[in-house]
Structure 1
Amino acid sequence: MGIKHGAPQVPSPLRVIIYFESTGWFNTTTDEKTNEILPQLNEVIQQWKLNGSELLGTFDRDILTAGPAGNTGWHACFLYNVPDLQTVADMTHSFRATGLDMYFRLEATVGRPFFLLEKAE
């Protein structure tokens, strides 16, 4: 029999992991990457710093992989504390609004700190 406990509580701020996959990036030229795509990506990431989100960490799989993401469906992930669900939606929408969704795919998952490793304050 498992441990009895109540329903998980939705944290505030939200704990969000954003999976990042390169898609159309592989079909672009070096000039497009350097002069168009990367500056736009950097601008969007800088804007995320202003929306009340806190970057907790990142993880890039590129040490032992190259090319398309494969079965995992992501190249990197970003772990954030985010103020609310609308901010998460705004973050993913920023890729649509800027056209970055032609080159990258984002997927956000909302969770909470793992209770055995991170105690609530």
Structure 2
Amino acid sequence: MKEIKHGAPQIPSPLRVFITFESTGWFDTSKEQKEKEILPQLNKILEEWKENGSELLGTFDRDIFTAGHAGPNHWHACFLYNIPDLQTVTNMTHSIREAGLDRYIRLEASIGRPFFLLEK
């Protein structure tokens, strides 16, 4: 069997970023607010993220077997990106705050790396 070495993790470039998305104040809004205010603003931000040098690798929405508040997982959906640098990550999370959407949505970014046994 081939020896597998597992040294200290190396910070990848681009950064591998896992962003969790939680609906918070969303549940205290009307259908009209969601459709006419919140979702259009969120969609605009997500479209802008396509222009910042990031590469969306995948998304995962837990809504098939869940409804309502996020529960102990503390997220409803997640996004996996390759992002060029820390400032871009900060700009992405700040865009939610700047638009006032942090009243309805919580984002959290985690920096990681590709799993060494599956991605070389």
TM range (shorter): over 0.9
Identity %: 74
Structure 1 segments of 4 or more deviating over 6 A? none
Please, which runs of 5 or more residues in structure 2 have no aligned partner?
none
For 1:20, the equivalent position in structure 2 comes to 21
For 1:89, the equivalent position in structure 2 comes to 90
- What do residues 54-86 of structure 1 show as CA deviations (whole Å, max 9, x unaligned)? 000000001110000000000000000000011
Read off the aligned partner of 1:47 and give its amino acid letter: E
Q: Distance in 2 between matches of 1:105 and 1:5?
A: 34
Q: Please, what TM-score do these two structures have when normalized by structure 2?
A: 0.95
Q: Distance in 1 between matches of 2:69 and 2:10?
A: 36
Read off the aligned partner of 2:36 and give its amino acid letter: N
Q: Distance in 1 between matches of 2:84 and 2:55?
A: 9
Q: Distance in 1 between matches of 2:21 and 2:5?
A: 35
Kindly tell me the number of residue pairs found equivalent between the two proteins. 117
Read off the aligned partner of 2:68 and give its amino acid letter: G
Q: Distance in 2 between matches of 1:64 and 1:36?
A: 27
For 2:40, the equivalent position in structure 1 comes to 39
RMSD: 1.0
Q: Distance in 2 between matches of 1:118 and 1:94?
A: 31
